[in-house]
Structure 1
Amino acid sequence: MKVGLYFGSFNPINIGHLVIGNYLAEHSNLDQIWFVVTPHNPFKKKDTLLDNYQRLEMVYLATKDYPKLKQCDIEFGLPQPNYTVNTLAYLQEKYPQHDFCLIMGEDNLKSFHKWKNYAVILENHDIYVYPRISEGPIETQFDNHKKIHRVEAPIMELSSTYIRSAIKKGINVQPMLPQGVWKYLDDMNFYR
């Protein structure tokens, strides 16, 4: 089975994440998309994150009705801060029957050469890149690379940062969130 790994803090998961994940599940050769909830991105401040299991619950609520979309907590048990190359090695060992691929936005591809052991990742895993509006060039070494697949998914410029800020200001963001996620956030009074 070919599994696309969509990493993120998902703080909170929003309809943009779902649209991209579902598009890749339906319009690529990936059999499943796993939304990998990251406990701590080395490039983000940890104090802005909800609890790991609260974010995992939101991903579950968002994906439960989509058979090809799954929530994944694999990084919760790995040493922190963790790096993608370590997660990929761990997953490949735990699930040798699966072929794991990375899903990333074009903005991340622009900084991919700064990732820990990015060459090892590229040697062993395909990368599916969806379009994002962003500035700056992509490293020429990634142009026409056999392991990098560009996917013409819809451009989704919806940020979890904006959603958190809007909730704090009392702005209605309900249409930007899967219904179950909105209800969970509202019931738990998160981000207020």
Structure 2
Amino acid sequence: MKIGLYFGTFNPVHVGHLIIANHFAEYSDLDKIWMVITPHNPFKKKKTLLDNHHRYQLVLEAVEEYPAIEASTIEFNLPQPNYTSNTLAHLKEKYPQHEFCLIMGEDNLRTLHKWKNYEVILKHHDIYVYPRIADSEDQTQHELLNNERIHIIEAPVVEISSTAIRKAIKAGKNCRPLLPQSVWRYIDEMNFYK
């Protein structure tokens, strides 16, 4: 089985994440999409994150009606901070029958050369890239685009930000259209981000 790993802090998961995950489930050769909830991204401040189990619950709620998309806690028990190369090595060992691929935005592709062991990742895993609105072109990106492991997928450009959603909730704004209904309910009931 070919599994696309869609990493994120999902703080909170929103309709933009679902649009991307569902697009790859429907319009690529990936059999399943695992939304991998990252406990702590080395590039992000940890204090703004909801607890792992709450973010997992939000993703679980969001993907309930999408059989090809699953919430994954695979990184929860790995050493912190998590690095994608370590997670991929762990998954390969735990599920040798599956082929794991990465799903990332164009913006992440531009910084891939800064990732720990990125050459190893590229050697062993396909990377599926969805478009993002970009400010500037980068030479690194052009070099990577020629790599046979990189697949650019025409997907909807979704510019919804978890950060903006958190700020909106804190400011008492109605941002319900940006969240799956079950996710909004959970956030509202738990008084998150206020």
Sort the TM-score into its range (normalised by shorter chain): over 0.9
- C-alpha separation in 1, matches of 2:41 and 2:136: 22
User: CA deviation digits over 1:73-101, x for unaligned, max 9?
Assistant: 00000000010000000001000000000
Residue number in structure 1 paired with 2:68: 68
User: Where in structure 1 are there 5+ consecutive unaligned residues?
Assistant: none
- C-alpha separation in 2, matches of 1:81 and 1:35: 18
Q: How does 1:70-109 map to 2 (within 5 A)?
A: 70-109=70-109
User: Where in structure 2 are there 5+ consecutive unaligned residues?
Assistant: none
- C-alpha separation in 2, matches of 1:64 and 1:169: 29
Residue number in structure 1 paired with 2:152: 150
Shift, 1:149, TM fit: 0.2
- C-alpha separation in 1, matches of 2:19 and 2:12: 14
Give the TM-score of the pair, scaled to structure 1. 0.99
Local SS of the residue matching 1:35: strand
User: CA deviation digits over 1:106-136, x for unaligned, max 9?
Assistant: 0000000000000000000000000001223
The answer to whether structure 1 residue 135 and structure 2 residue 135 are counterparts is yes
Residue number in structure 1 paired with 2:10: 10
The two structures, once aligned, show a CA RMSD in angstroms of: 0.7
Residue number in structure 2 paired with 1:179: 181
Q: Which runs of 4+ in 1 moved over 2 A?
A: 135-138
Whether the 8 Å contact between 1:126 and 1:149 is mirrored in structure 2 is: yes
Shift, 1:145, TM fit: 1.2
> Number of matched residues?
192
The answer to whether structure 1 residue 43 and structure 2 residue 46 are counterparts is no
Shift, 1:155, TM fit: 0.1
Give percent identity, aligned residues only: 62
Whether the 8 Å contact between 1:110 and 1:136 is mirrored in structure 2 is: no
